[in-house]
A and B are shown apart, each in its own frame.
Chain A
Amino acid sequence: MTDQFRVKRIWQQDERTLGIVWTDGRKSLYDVVELRRQCRCAHCIDEVTRELKLDPDSVPESLRPQRIESVGRYALTIQFSDGHKTGIYPFERLRELG
């Protein structure tokens, strides 16, 4: 009905890599530090001007997720070790990133 792809399998590949297999069989690997830099939540990006509020260099290479959880059927959310947890990553966007 909808042609959006969803998560079939999700796992921690290594220390800083997240793995996802999508429902169409495609496999994506994500660097978790890069995912933090790609956050589009209201703290990290100006919702009107779409300007980045987050300085990518301020995200340390040592940053890690703590938990990754589904949001409904369309997205996931990541709680990071710096306490940041407001980011929602729609599957559609993750497909573009990985």
Chain B
Amino acid sequence: MTSVGVIANPASGRDVRRLTSGASVFDNAEKASMVLRLMHGLAASGIDEVVMMPTAPSVAGVLRRQLATRQPPGSAPLPALRFLDQPVTETARDSERAVAAMVAEGVAAIVGLGGDGTQRLIARGCGEIPLCPLSTGTNNAFPEMREATVAGLAVGLVASGRAGTDGLRREAALHVRVERAAGDRDPVEDLALVDLAVTGQRFVGARAVSRADDLRELLVTHASPSAIGLSSVAAALDPVRRGGRQGLHVRLAPVAAAPRRVVVPLAPGVVVPVGVRDHRRIALGEAVELEPADGSIALDGEREIELRRDDRALVRLVAGPRTVDVDAVLRAAAHEPRRALATA
């Protein structure tokens, strides 16, 4: 039996960026509809089962209702839907638990519906299981904004083994370890998928990086010139290909004091100048020691680790999760009849 895991984060798309930028609101009912459309795509490859993280009724209840009513005539039988048996705490713990359970069950792929933060949680735990990250909002750099039906077709081919590994892309990640000087605090380790930034904001607070002028350092796994968010700063200086063996390290400064400035889309509807001291490429495996600072470390745009001047923070560019390259999978299927859906 082939199962595909689905994690749809009901909390994504509701943070303070709704106030500090023009970020759009993504409805939970639409996330449920995306899962249903994904299931139609998976059905074409004969995937038996979808295993989902349980959520509040906002996603799960709507999905159940839609399953009961919307079955277009002539479509392949949908995979069975099963919710994992775990409590709903409405915290990041839910996603972490769900990923662990899916790994333990041996699902063939995991589809993540959410923003950069959600995908980060999944990537921390999914190991070598292929991840298909789907965006549920406009302000993300890692997951793609794409139609779930099509993503379902590609994930189905990967999960059923027909796509081989050609359509899988090895991502890079930024691993960070913070050693605490003061004895009463434990060292912290974490992962970013696109960008890691040091801000002057001292508390994790409402998480989103809401200011540009106190950014001190930025590291990126890749930098696409058409991306939005922190990685756009790196992209304006030196675009770096996704899935390559290099990243970029940028040191920043307040605009007034910086030798160079770039104008970038830091958030939806927010185009601002950012001051740059210098930048350089970093190689896979290379470690960078962050400059001592009081502030916090933001991972993929969200403050996660509070930092003190006497802490020692080391960031390393490492191999990240394997993701499904939807275009590549479907292109290969068109060229190789044995892989095509019609022969299923």
Co-complex (A, B): no
Tell me the B residues contacting A by CB distance below 8 Å. Answer: none
Q: Which residues of A contact B (CB under 8 A)?
A: none
